[in-house]
Amino acid sequence: MTTTFLSLISIFIGIIGANLTGYLFKHYSFGLTGNTIAGVFGSIFLIKFFGRLGFNPQSILETGTMNYGLFTLNSIISFIGGVISILLIHKLKQN
């Protein structure tokens, strides 16, 4: 696996988080396209912001093998990034 592939997986998990939030909470939804865009940017932002703590794709593959604990943490943060992005955009839309 490469770091680029891990980054794409992280973005995809953020998209899932944003779309799942929009599906479960209809009043937060921005449609499939809007939720997808929010999920992409939310997951990228949160991984870039908190990934410096040691669970970015480079750290996951640092030893030459995949560190599944760091990958799980990366996936959770990406999912949360997608959810937070939907909530923040909804809050901005209200004002």
What sign has the CA pseudo-torsion 20, 23, 25, 29? positive
Q: What's the pLDDT score for residue 91? A: 93
Q: What's the pLDDT score for residue 62? A: 87
Q: What's the pLDDT score for residue 33? A: 95
Q: What's the pLDDT score for residue 14? A: 95
Q: What is the pLDDT along the chain (95 residues), one digit of tens a residue?
A: 788 999 999 999 999 999 999 999 999 999 999 999 999 999 999 998 887 888 788 888 988 888 899 999 999 999 999 999 999 999 998 87
Q: What's the pLDDT score for residue 78? A: 94
Domain ranges of the chain: 3-94
